[in-house]
Amino acid sequence: MALHIALDAMGGDRGPDELVSGAIQAVCASDIEITLLGDEGLLLNALKGRKYDSSRIHIVHTSQVIEMDESPFDAIRKKKDSSIMRAFALHKEGKVDAVVSAGNSGATMAAAIKFLGRLDSISRPGIAGIFPTLKGPVLMMDVGANVDCRPLHLYQFGVMAAAFSQVLFGHERPRIGLLSIGEEGGKGNVLVKKTHELFQQSNTLNYIGNVEGRDTFQGDVDVIVCDGFVGNVCLKLSEGLAEAVLGMLGEEISKTIKAKLGYLLAKDAFRSFKKRVDYAEYGGAPLLGLNGNGIICHGRSNPTAIKNAIRVAAEMARNKVNDQILQLLAVEGETQGVPPVTGASS
């Protein structure tokens, strides 16, 4: 049976046209079905004149939109007919296998928890950001859902991200690093030090110890664990740095004839570099720890990013990432000396 993905077609900064284009690209590249949620008139207009399999793209009309600057909890309480809320309601009802949204990330996470709930034993669901490195993608978790964390939360982030890395990236024993201000175990704040102690108690996780910010893009670690405050700063800093580097290169290339000629010779390399650091290539950030599947996309997501986010959402559902998380949690719980995960407090 083909997988079915719900797309919040009213989220994001670019409007429904870009999101619908991404959905069409996803349908043309796979056998999945997509339900678009949003203003039916706008969505029909966005689909008009496009070539696609109409039997695999459906529309559910919603009368409300959660804006980017709205309070997440106020929004999900007052806007029950919003595209984000209705998308996760469909998931809860079993009518879709995953949800993708480029809208208000706080409201997306709040709606996901409201309708889907948390996986057994998971204290705090989180957002896993995917970063490019010299040797392949690395997962950083959390990148914004939980700004105030306890050691157990970070420990569980590592378990969840490791399970995702195993399933989606094929890492048999993902290398887990704890983001800190130094590689030594004694470095960092109280949260980092206590989390380091928890990871050291595990005999099953491939915990390599503390890693520093400069290690993020080297590719020598598969999972980087941090709280959502630090993770979100890292995410935004990385996005800004990539844009600034590309802008600086463009300025330097335009200064002299010699530089312009050099660019012509290295144009393919520059194009490859731009693609490598483009968030659109990774689609979005998976929501882990939910009793379901969700992807949060960048507000500026273009059709390529939406297409890739839908692909990752389908892979999460197809490969049963949540089953892998629960299995790894169970193995950890059976390991002598590992901190308990059942009944973790929030």
Q: Which has the closest alpha carbon to 106: 135, 144, 140? A: 144
Measure CA 289 to chain center: 12
Peptide bond preceding 142: is omega within 30 degrees of 0, i.e. cis? yes
If you ran DSSP here, which 8-state letter would residue 219 be given? S
**Burial class (CB within 10 angstroms; exposed 0-12, middle 13-18, buried 19+) of 277:** middle
C-alpha torsion angle, residues 157, 162, 167, 170 (rounded to 10) = 150
Tell me the DSSP string of 57-70: EEEEE-SB---TTS
Please indicate whether residue 264 or residue 55 has the higher confidence score (pLDDT).
Answer: 55
Q: Supply the pLDDT for residue 331.
A: 85
User: Average pLDDT over the chain, rounded to whole?
Assistant: 89
CATH of domain 4-123+281-319: 3.40.718.10
Share of the chain above pLDDT 70, in %: 94
Report domain 129-278+325-334's class: alpha beta
pLDDT tens readout for residues 22-77 = 999 999 999 999 999 999 999 999 999 889 888 999 999 999 999 988 998 899 99
Judge whether 300 and 68 are in contact, CB under 8 Å.
Answer: no
Please check whether residue 194 is in contact with residue 223, taking contact to mean a CB–CB distance below 8 angstroms: no
Q: What is the pLDDT of residue 163?
A: 94
Tens-digit pLDDT profile for residues 186-197: 888 999 999 999
Place of tokens 């960048």: 298
- Residue 279 pLDDT grade (very low, low, confident, very high; cuts 50, 70, 90): low
| DSSP category for residue 275 | H
The Cα 193–Cα 179 span in angstroms is 11
Sequence spans of domains, the chain: 4-123+281-319, 129-278+325-334
Q: How far apart are the first and last CA of the chain?
A: 37
pLDDT of 102 = 92
pLDDT confidence band for 346 (50 / 70 / 90): very low
4-123+281-319 and 129-278+325-334 have identical folds: yes
Q: Which two tokens stand for residue 101?
A: 């949204």
Q: Which pLDDT score, from 0 to 100, does residue 342 have?
A: 45
